[in-house]
Amino acid sequence: MTMEELTKLYPKLSAQLGKEAVQTTSEEETKKGYPTAGYGYQFVVNRLNEVLGPSHWRQIPEIISEMPKGDKLTEVTMKIIVQIGNWINGEFIPIAEQIAFGGHASRTKPDAYKGAHTNTLKKALGMFGVGKEAYEGTLDDDNRTPDFREKVAHKSSYNNSESNGFEDFEEEGESKIRVKLLTPIEIKKSKSGNNYGVAKVITTNNETLQLLVFDKNLERIQAMKVNQVITVLGEIKDSPVNGKQIIAKDFVA
């Protein structure tokens, strides 16, 4: 597999999956006031296997955190690197990779881990075009009502006018949070050997939080100065050790 071959395969990778791949969740389950639709995990993996072959890609998962959420739930946050490439003499040589973060909360730990894995892997594969409609907000699902489409259109319109440089259609669970840096970024190393950054920040509501930054954003955040105000796109998590944390997907100054 070469980069040129991978580029030519993109139309096949990104071709819309069939209606049988669409999974819908009722508004009673989502607690959002409207139903949501997405692609089933196995259908997305099948597309990658069919187009590339099982031996030309791999995933590298990493557990970021496992913590209680409320009295009954366990929430797991994950990072997954998906690499496309070739096995040569027992070593995988990547020609392209994508990194995604995701998570899931459930009443049982196995379901929390399973949900976090499928959620994160689908995000990573979406960056290669597989199932991308689910993240564009353009998934064509007959079960979506006119009310649902109107709410999605309203959300996209709102984000276009006040996006602060972020993508128009945010992923579930993410928020834009305006914060001021209280400390310089400190680079640390995870148990798996990957670098990540930590800094103390304060929100516009005078709430002090810990900011976690990973991968491509590390170099950018290191250039930020103490007392600089930034807008973070990410999720707020409760850590039993470090208190409230913002897990940053992106940010703009």
Three-point CA angle 211, 214, 215, nearest 5°: 155
Alpha helices (H) along the chain? 3-14, 27-30, 41-52, 109-126, 133-136, 146-161, 217-222
Express each pLDDT in 109-123 by its tens digit: 999 999 999 999 999
Given CA atoms 213, 214, 217, 223 in this order, what sign does their dihedral have?
A: positive
Res 240: pLDDT: 62
Q: Could you give the 3-state DSSP secondary structure of residue 110?
A: helix
Res 28: pLDDT: 54
- In the predicted model, residues of the chain with pLDDT beneath 50 are 30-34, 140-173
CA-to-CA separations, 125 to 118, 139, 215, 222, in angstroms, rounded: 11, 16, 18, 29
- Give the homologous superfamily in CATH for domain 175-252: Nucleic acid-binding proteins (2.40.50.140)
Per DSSP (E only), the strands in the chain are: 22-25, 36-39, 57-69, 73-88, 91-106, 175-181, 186-189, 195-203, 208-214, 229-239, 243-252
Res 246: pLDDT: 84
The whole-angstrom separation of Cα 100 and Cα 216 is: 11
Cα-atom radius of gyration of the chain, to the nearest Å? 19
The whole-angstrom separation of Cα 13 and Cα 99 is: 17
**Considering the domain 3-161, what is its CATH architecture?**
2-Layer Sandwich (3.30)
Given CA atoms 16, 22, 36, 113 in this order, what sign does their dihedral have?
A: negative
Q: CATH 2.40.50.140 occupies which residues in the chain?
A: 175-252
Q: CATH 3.30.390.80 occupies which residues in the chain?
A: 3-161
Res 64: pLDDT: 93
- The residue assigned the tokens 């639709």 is 37
